[in-house]
Structure 1
Amino acid sequence: MRYLVFQLYAPMASWGEAATGEIRRSARHPSRSAILGLLGAALGIRRDEDDALAELRDGVAVAIKQLSPGVAVQDYHTAQVPGQDRKARRLTRRDELAVKDKLHTILSTREYRCDGSWRVAIRATETSRWSLDDVAEALQNPRFPLYFGRKSCPPAAPLAPRIVEAEGLRAALSHEFPQLTRLCPEEEHRRLGLGEEVAYAWEGESGDLPVQETRYPYDQPLHRGRWQFASRPEHWHQTREES
């Protein structure tokens, strides 16, 4: 099987989960929607290009190897919003702030993953519009800036995309990558929390990973404009191995 494999590392990343209430949680590993957003930005797909976004969604299968989930940190936010008015239609942030005499302050907390490290494997489906070579080239020379969940979370190490042939996901995600830092390997592992404990998350068949658990995250994009997502089955396997 042919895979496109690349790495993700940043001082801060935010892999959004379902947003309920004033606390916006982050998952421990990248969501499918986050990976699709990363690929879409690299390929130059705009947010209003619904057909292209749907083709990208249906054209790739995603797998993750979590080397370290990072440390959870929280950021305290305040924001101004207009009061409730059922007759008003506000389509943009500018529309909201235009009501200067009716603004209220709301509080929220955003969660991030600090110094997390992950590897990603992409497999093209039969209906894919883009080849793995096209996507690898786009990740090397992205059309739009890449970030990990939020614009304040840019990559801190090269994604180093490469095409590999392997019998399964475990073999594909075990290829060696450049070090994330200039520290010696032992010190890098200590500071980033890289140990023998790793976890895999994938969709579809793995080839060489037994399923320990199946989860159903709401990270399958349906419509970008309406922010609609669906659940999907995601398989999980946690094990001890050399990172």
Structure 2
Amino acid sequence: MTVVALRLAGPLQAWGSRSRFVRRETEKAPTKSGVIGMVAAAKGIRRTDPLEELADLRFGVRIDQPGQLLRDFQTAQRPKKEKDGTTSWSSLPLSQRYYVSDAVFLAVLEGERRLVEDIDEAVRSPEFPLYLGRRSCPPAGPVALGVFDSGLEEALATLPWMAGTRRQQRHRANTVRLTTVRDAHPDETDGELVQDIPVSFDPNRRQYAWRTITRGTVEIDNPHGTAEKAEEHDPMASLGG
């Protein structure tokens, strides 16, 4: 199979799957619906257009830099014309919006080569602006990492660590263990169900289907690791001639 890899990094990201009314939550890692929505924007797909081709792609994400959960309180006022011609203001309900700050993720989509290459090209020259979950969350730096002849699992386990240089230097160890979240295979029965497959982004009838995910870890080289490998102890060395 073929995959397209994306680097999702920015001051703020918001990948909600349970947002309701005045409480807008975020997951700790990008959702499939959020990434597919970003790809759809890059390709110029309208909210009312069909999404089957994109939704059928296998999806996985690696948490290269977890970031911090941030809560923001927001309120607004609505103008109202009075009978005497003056304007009064009424406050709207206080809303709570959650974000992940200073995070870096590797997102991978696996599918047929033609579609994967189209996605890579679209993300490099998008029809609509790209956002990391919400319009207030633009990406920092290029998103597209390229197309690779590998499967989803292989890409998550082999592509370089995407965290910032300072974080890699502070880690010091020569390797790092990173968490992954990916679409489960049909024969994997111990997965977790999430309502995260976009069926329609139409504002009048948003609809999402269920998918099964599996969580795991991979060990990736740290290019800025400085830890020296411990020499293997030989208890017989002192007896040598």
Structure 1 residues 18 and 80: CA distance shift in structure 2, 3 A: farther
CA distance in structure 1 between the aligned counterparts of 2:88 and 2:200, rounded to whole angstroms: 34
Name the amino acid aligned to 1:113. V
TM-score, structure 1 length as denominator? 0.74
Q: Which residue of 1 aligns with 2:59?
A: 62
Q: Which residue of 2 aligns with 1:123?
A: 110
CA distance in structure 2 between the aligned counterparts of 1:160 and 1:32, rounded to whole angstroms: 17
TM-score, structure 2 length as denominator? 0.75
Q: Which residue of 2 aligns with 1:203?
A: 183
Name the amino acid aligned to 1:4. V
Q: Alpha carbon RMSD of aligned pairs, Å?
A: 3.1
Structure 1 residues 234 and 190: CA distance shift in structure 2, 3 A: same
Alpha-carbon offset, residue 157 of structure 1: 1.9
Alpha-carbon offset, residue 22 of structure 1: 3.8
Matches within 5 A, 1:98-109: 105-109=92-96
Larger radius of gyration: 2
Name the amino acid aligned to 1:141. S
Name the amino acid aligned to 2:30. P
The answer to whether the aligner puts 1:238 opposite 2:238 as a matched pair is: no
CA distance in structure 2 between the aligned counterparts of 1:136 and 1:227, rounded to whole angstroms: 26
CA distance in structure 2 between the aligned counterparts of 1:237 and 1:34, rounded to whole angstroms: 21
The answer to whether the aligner puts 1:169 opposite 2:149 as a matched pair is: no
The answer to whether the aligner puts 1:147 opposite 2:131 as a matched pair is: yes
CA distance in structure 2 between the aligned counterparts of 1:158 and 1:236, rounded to whole angstroms: 27
CA distance in structure 2 between the aligned counterparts of 1:70 and 1:136, rounded to whole angstroms: 26
Q: Is the 8 A contact 1:65 1:198 kept in 2?
A: yes
Q: Which residue of 1 aligns with 2:228?
A: none
Name the amino acid aligned to 1:120. A
Name the amino acid aligned to 2:127. R
Question: Counterpart of 1:205 in 2: which secondary structure?
Answer: coil
Q: Which residue of 2 aligns with 1:90?
A: none
Name the amino acid aligned to 2:181. A
Structure 1 residues 112 and 191: CA distance shift in structure 2, 3 A: farther
CA distance in structure 1 between the aligned counterparts of 2:73 and 2:215, rounded to whole angstroms: 31
Q: Is the 8 A contact 2:76 2:92 kept in 1?
A: yes
Structure 1 residues 75 and 191: CA distance shift in structure 2, 3 A: farther
Alpha-carbon offset, residue 223 of structure 1: 2.4
Kindly indicate which of the two structures has a greater share of residues assigned to strand.
Answer: 2
Q: Deviations over 1:64-90 (max 9, x none)?
A: 1111221001111114579xxxxxxxx
CA distance in structure 2 between the aligned counterparts of 1:213 and 1:189, rounded to whole angstroms: 33
CA distance in structure 2 between the aligned counterparts of 1:101 and 1:42, rounded to whole angstroms: 41
Aligned-residue sequence identity (percent) comes to: 28
Match of 1:217 among 178, 186, 194: 194
Structure 1 residues 239 and 172: CA distance shift in structure 2, 3 A: closer
Name stretches of at least 5 consecutive residues in structure 2 with no aligned partner. Answer: 80-86, 223-241
Structure 1 residues 216 and 141: CA distance shift in structure 2, 3 A: same
Alpha-carbon offset, residue 172 of structure 1: 1.1
Q: Deviations over 1:66-115 (max 9, x none)?
A: 11221001111114579xxxxxxxxxxxxxxxxx9895520111000011
Structure 1 residues 74 and 191: CA distance shift in structure 2, 3 A: farther
Name the amino acid aligned to 1:155. P
Question: Counterpart of 1:172 in 2: which secondary structure?
Answer: helix
